[in-house]
Amino acid sequence: MALYWLPLLPLIGFALLICGGKWFSGTSGGWLGSGLIGAAFVVALIRFFGLSDVPAHETLWTWLPNMALGTAGISANLKIGFYLDQLSSVMTLVITGVGFLIHVYSISYMRGDARFTRFFAFMNFFVAMMLILVLADSYPLMFVGWEGVGMASYLLIGFWFAGHKDHNAAEGVNNSNAARKAFIMNRIGDLGFMLGMFLIYKVFGTLVIPELAAQGATLLVTSRPLLELICLFLLVGAVGKSGQLPLTTWLPDAMAGPTPVSALIHAATMVTAGVYLIARSNFFYDLAPGASMWVAWAGGLTALYGALSALNQTDIKKILAYSTVSQLGYMFLAVGLHSYTAAIFHLVTHAFFKALLFLAAGAVIHALHEEQDVRKMGGLAKSMPFTHAVSAIGVLAITGIPIFAGFFSKDGILASAFAQNTPLYLIGLFVALLTAFYMGRWYFLVWRGSYRGDAQLHPHDGDALLSAPLGILAALATIGGFFNVPAFLFGGTHALDNFLGRAIPVHEHEIPVSTEWLITGIAVATGLIGLGWAFYDHRRSALQVGPLGQTSLQALYLDRFYNAVIGGGSRVISQGLDVMDNGVDGAMSGIARNVGAPGWLVTVWQSGFVRVYALSMLLGTALIVGYWALKAIGGGV
């Protein structure tokens, strides 16, 4: 099947649901939207099994063919086409596969919502734009998907713009502000992406990615500062979309959207777009060590920031949101160190266990009638045994405990950092400790101990539509790591690395096997220590207030800093401009009034009465005659 079917199927769903929403009764709109995403997943599977070493490149449309030919056979005109290699194929499987599960889950979760059909229309639109982003054969087309995802996320984050079930206006204002914040901060990143595209076109005369990647000789002789600048511009775009420092504060606030939106945006799709952009642009970053180091440090510091901020959060979803910030930092750290396959591997496993954790959190919120404060939970393992079991799997996966998925993918990133940059490795290891603690805190506060919430509630597991996606994701979070078992463990073959290596470079690090065992042992021990720390605090009932107190709860005060410095500075500038504007307006109004006063007298004279004009002529004639008479008398004429 042609590649265009991948984004076209969800786009059809979007068009049908947004234009004919009133004709879809009950949950039929949800089934239609989910079915079309499932069909897209089937297409992605078919194309995956049909992949060869030669990527599929399908041009759909060419603008002004032969009108803008560049040098060396490069066409400088605008083409629209899709490109499928091993990297984009993995991304399409993750987007459609995890996206389908989230759609099915949403049928039950959003049942009864006044805008049920519209919700699925937006979800279909989001998936379609994400597929365009990863399949694009050029940066401009990728930018179309990039912007489309931004628009869809704005609509989905602010979906409850009047509060949940339209019953809470104050909540609605907060939700709308969160959507606006995400939209605006992403535009800052978009500016960097656009500047990167302009510079690429100026230097290479094309924006088609395969053509750029094929210019090996040209790239080697291109000025190094130019390449560094291109990579830094693209990094700004990636930072905005993936919620990295300093543009990270929109991501936790995006929790205002319904929980399936959080799972879709934070787990499998939008926030990983920045990682994909850098991995796809590897031919630039491999020649720009300075910019790559910026990427790695942005990732390392963001991972630390997210972990520290998650330590004392009280909202069940916000803990996971800051965890996403931190895990994305790991991925940036990996691509910055040119370990592209390690980053994509962690992207895949993260999609499994983070979607699982978000959907499990949604099941808890659903069972507790929208309660999201973990301090008002506890002891839910007895009343929700299935959700508890899958949540425990998610926690073990993200903390890197063998044999779960996160163990394999996180270990690959840490090993790469160990081989190339000791400070970044130590940061990564410390983040692993914090991750294990805050996820242990999340687990014990929600599932263990005694129930601290409303005694009138009787929480229980969700129905089959809620539970089936959780079960599938739990299975993937358990076995997903075996897609890429390293050679030193049980005779692994690096299957995913070898597969992706046909599309993106694999920079293998030289570490003795004994050292790899040591690094792995330290990472596992770190995870166990973090979980043990959380268990110890749980036993002495000290988990409700986490480490760092208000500093962690306020996310290291970064948002306040932005409000004070950028927001406050903007307000001062705008007030100054307002004063200037009022001054200019007042001056112009004064001039207009002074000019208008004599004019008013003239308008009074011009009354339209003939007698007035006759009198005017008579007076004028008398004045002229009198003047000449006086002049004649005075001059002796």
Q: Which tokens in the block code for residue 619?
A: 């007076």
What span, in angstroms and rounded, lies between the C-alpha atoms of 604 and 574?
43
**Band (633; pLDDT cuts 50, 70, 90):** confident
Residue 563: DSSP 8-state: I
Out of 92-106, 547-561, 583-597, least confident range: 583-597
**Band (64; pLDDT cuts 50, 70, 90):** low
Is-contact 310 326, C-beta < 8 A? Answer: yes
The pLDDT, as a whole number, for residue 73 is 56
What span, in angstroms and rounded, lies between the C-alpha atoms of 467 and 304?
33
Residue 380 scores a pLDDT above 50: yes
Average confidence (pLDDT) over 106-135 = 95
Determine the 3-state secondary structure of 136 from DSSP.
strand
205: left (phi over 0), alpha (psi -120 to 50) or beta: left
The pLDDT, as a whole number, for residue 488 is 79
What span, in angstroms and rounded, lies between the C-alpha atoms of 378 and 226?
55
* Virtual torsion, Cα 538, 540, 542, 547, nearest 10 deg: -80
512: left (phi over 0), alpha (psi -120 to 50) or beta: beta
The pLDDT, as a whole number, for residue 536 is 96
Out of 120-124, 282-286, 487-491, least confident range: 487-491
Is-contact 160 370, C-beta < 8 A? Answer: no
Determine the 3-state secondary structure of 77 from DSSP.
coil
Burial zone of 627 (CB within 10 Å; 0-12 exposed, 13-18 middle, 19+ buried): exposed
338: left (phi over 0), alpha (psi -120 to 50) or beta: left
> Amino acid identity of 574?
S
* Virtual torsion, Cα 591, 594, 599, 601, nearest 10 deg: 170
70 vs 123, more confident: 123
Residue 24 scores a pLDDT above 60: yes
Positive or negative CA dihedral for 122, 370, 547, 551? positive
Out of 162-171, 395-404, 473-482, least confident range: 162-171
The pLDDT, as a whole number, for residue 77 is 65
Q: Which tokens in the block code for residue 429?
A: 């290891």
What span, in angstroms and rounded, lies between the C-alpha atoms of 6 and 132?
8
* Closest residue by Cα to residue 517 from 488, 477, 479, 476: 488
Is-contact 134 43, C-beta < 8 A? Answer: no
Out of 6-20, 79-93, 579-593, least confident range: 579-593
- pTM value surpassing 0.75: yes
The pLDDT, as a whole number, for residue 39 is 97
**DSSP tally for the chain: helices H, then strands E:** 27, 2
- Paired residues of 75 in beta bridges: 69
What span, in angstroms and rounded, lies between the C-alpha atoms of 406 and 394?
9
**Kind and range of the H or E run holding 474:** helix 464-479
**Band (394; pLDDT cuts 50, 70, 90):** very high
* Closest residue by Cα to residue 120 from 103, 105, 108: 103
What is the Cα 175 distance to its own chain's centre? 16
The pLDDT, as a whole number, for residue 510 is 78
Residue 637: DSSP 8-state: -
Residue 637 scores a pLDDT above 50: no
The pLDDT, as a whole number, for residue 635 is 64
**Band (351; pLDDT cuts 50, 70, 90):** very high
Residue 318 scores a pLDDT above 60: yes
Task: Tell me the pLDDT tens digit for each residue of 214-267.
Answer: 988 889 999 999 999 999 999 999 999 999 989 999 999 988 889 999 998 877
Q: How many CB atoms lie within 10 A of CB 619?
A: 10
What span, in angstroms and rounded, lies between the C-alpha atoms of 425 and 333?
10
Q: What percent of the chain has pLDDT over 90?
A: 70
Task: Tell me the pLDDT tens digit for each residue of 257-269.
Answer: 899 999 988 776 7
What span, in angstroms and rounded, lies between the C-alpha atoms of 262 and 312?
20
Average confidence (pLDDT) over 383-397 = 96
